[in-house]
């Protein structure tokens, strides 16, 4: 009995100390640590599921051969480029919704949510139509020197993906609006529905029916259609913070759209230039051959695993900082950014320590050729070592700047670092010098470091405070 009492007392003491630390670092006048964690935890679970899903999908498609893996990896580079445009536009909505929420204007943030869905839906439809119509030219431009088997698989996957762009746009817009009011539990459940059914369909079409890339196309179309329907039903019939009406989506409010696009367009342009640089880098890798493409696809999946905590902090920062800015509490904004950076770095370290013993097994999921395993290990070791030091600062800080309305600066900074460092240096190290695919990845890590420094300097200054998005 005495032992139990002492143990209980010790646990109570630890709990009290933990609460004090959290109150010191993750509580402010705008919200306390419980509210912050209510936003972060669902986002963490969502990002973990998305990353694991991407890993699992790459592993499942590997059964169809290296040509299929390379093709899916190549097209997904383009898909990420396009999806990030949708996410960027939706983020404009998140910022405006969050700031109006912080200011206590429920009518305005409901209208902002509807206009976000309208804008992203229309743009995603136009992009999907364009990609579908010009798929041959796009593939020829980006991957023309790849093997024919790779091109054939890529064409099928690209057409299927483009048909789903409008579905993805609606899903991202709804998610952006919900994150703006802190409804991250809802975004988690909607993501689980979409991605969970994607996994289920992939098991059926890829593993049971052995349909290869065709099966992947069927899976993504069915799961994204279900995700869009569920998202709209939730907004209209279940969610009670945002008052959502379909007529508010159809009836455009150009004043509100202007506020949303003030953030969304620079961020979308940033994502286009940033991911355009990634796509150009992909063309370098094509020159290195199918083995290099396969190494890149596998490393891209594995390198994201430790980033799950940072990604959740990144998304949470937009909501939390946006609400702080909405009620003009800049001290809280600074405090939360510092805390998110520390929390993100710690999460990376913990995840890497957990994953390191299992790295050979993780690589084995993709059934790679023995000849490319050493290259995969080298890239992963280098990337994982750099991630806790550089990745949080290079991505969380610019999210905070965007939440404050400083989107033009993040555009210029991201454009400069991507094209002057990652692209140019990647070509030099990967193609001109004999470092191959490893050189391309080293260039990426150096770019992270430069980004981190630039955004740190900007945030330490005060110019990001000089934006008034609400009028």
Region 113-140 average pLDDT: 90
Query: For residue 378, is pLDDT > 90?
Result: yes
The per-residue pLDDT for 464 is: 81
Asked if residue 365 lies in contact with residue 383, where contact means CB atoms within 8 angstroms, the answer is no
- Comparing 124-138, 288-302, 340-354, the range with the smallest average pLDDT is 288-302
- Six-digit token pair at 167? 């579905």
CA 222 to CA 241: how far, in whole Å?
29
- Six-digit token pair at 189? 């459940």
Domain boundaries, given as residue ranges, for the chain: 32-465
> Three-state SS for 468?
coil
Region 441-465 average pLDDT: 90
Query: For residue 282, is pLDDT > 80?
Result: no
What average pLDDT does the chain have? Answer: 85
Confidence tier at 66 by pLDDT (50, 70, 90) = low
CA 137 to CA 131: how far, in whole Å?
9
Q: For 152-171, how does the pLDDT look when each residue is reduced to its tens digit (9 = 90+)?
A: 878 888 898 999 999 999 99
pTM above 0.85, yes or no: no
Region 46-62 average pLDDT: 71
Which parts of 104-211 fold into alpha helices (H)? 106-133, 135-143, 148-163, 165-180, 184-202
Q: For 14-34, how does the pLDDT look when each residue is reduced to its tens digit (9 = 90+)?
A: 667 767 777 777 777 777 778
Within 8 A by CB and 6+ apart from 55, the residues are 301, 302, 305, 362, 365
Confidence tier at 450 by pLDDT (50, 70, 90) = very high
The per-residue pLDDT for 10 is: 66
Q: What angle do CA 144, 149, 151 make, to 5 degrees?
A: 35
The per-residue pLDDT for 171 is: 93
């Amino acid at each position: 009995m005495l032992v139990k009492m002492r143990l209980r007392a010790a646990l109570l003491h630890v709990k009290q100390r933990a609460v004090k630390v959290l109150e010191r670092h993750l509580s402010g006048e705008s919200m306390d640590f419980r509210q912050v964690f209510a936003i972060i935890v669902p986002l963490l679970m969502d990002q973990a599921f998305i990353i694991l899903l991407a890993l699992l999908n790459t592993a499942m498609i590997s059964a169809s051969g290296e040509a299929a893996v390379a093709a899916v990896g190549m097209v997904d580079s383009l898909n990420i480029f396009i999806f990030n445009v949708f996410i960027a536009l939706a983020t404009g909505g998140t910022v405006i919704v969050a700031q109006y929420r912080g200011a206590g204007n429920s009518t305005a943030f409901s209208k902002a949510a509807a206009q976000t869905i309208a804008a992203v839906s229309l743009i995603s439809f136009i992009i999907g139509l364009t990609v579908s119509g010009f798929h041959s030219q796009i593939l020829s431009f980006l991957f023309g020197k790849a093997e024919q088997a790779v091109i054939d698989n890529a064409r099928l996957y690209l057409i299927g993906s483009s048909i789903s762009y409008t579905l993805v746009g609606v899903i991202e817009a709804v998610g952006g609006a919900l994150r703006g009011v802190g409804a991250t539990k809802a975004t988690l459940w909607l993501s689980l529905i979409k991605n969970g059914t994607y996994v289920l369909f992939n098991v059926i079409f890829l593993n049971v029916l052995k349909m290869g890339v065709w099966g992947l196309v069927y899976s993504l179309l069915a799961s994204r259609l279900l995700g869009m329907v569920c998202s709209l039903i939730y907004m209209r019939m279940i969610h009670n913070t945002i008052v959502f009406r379909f007529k508010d989506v159809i009836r455009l409010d150009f004043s509100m759209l202007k506020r949303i696009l003030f953030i969304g367009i620079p961020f979308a342009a940033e994502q286009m230039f940033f991911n355009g640089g990634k796509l150009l880098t992909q063309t370098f890798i094509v020159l290195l051959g199918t083995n290099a493409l396969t190494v890149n696809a596998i490393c891209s999946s594995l390198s994201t695993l430790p980033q799950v905590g940072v990604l959740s902090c990144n998304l949470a920062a937009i909501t939390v900082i946006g609400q702080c800015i909405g009620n003009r509490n800049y001290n809280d904004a600074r405090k939360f950014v510092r805390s998110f950076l520390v929390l993100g770095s710690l999460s990376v370290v913990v995840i890497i320590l957990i994953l390191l013993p299992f790295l050979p097994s993780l690589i084995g999921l993709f059934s790679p050729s023995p000849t490319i395993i050493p290259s995969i290990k080298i890239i992963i070791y280098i990337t994982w070592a750099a991630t806790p030091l550089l990745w949080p600062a290079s991505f969380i800080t610019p999210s905070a700047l965007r939440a404050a309305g400083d989107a033009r600066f993040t555009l210029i900074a991201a454009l400069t670092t991507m094209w002057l460092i990652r692209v140019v240096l990647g070509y030099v190290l990967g193609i001109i010098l004999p470092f191959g695919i490893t050189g391309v990845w080293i260039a990426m890590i150096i770019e992270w470091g430069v980004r981190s420094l630039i955004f740190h300097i900007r945030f330490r200054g005060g110019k990001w405070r000089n934006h008034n998005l609400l009028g």
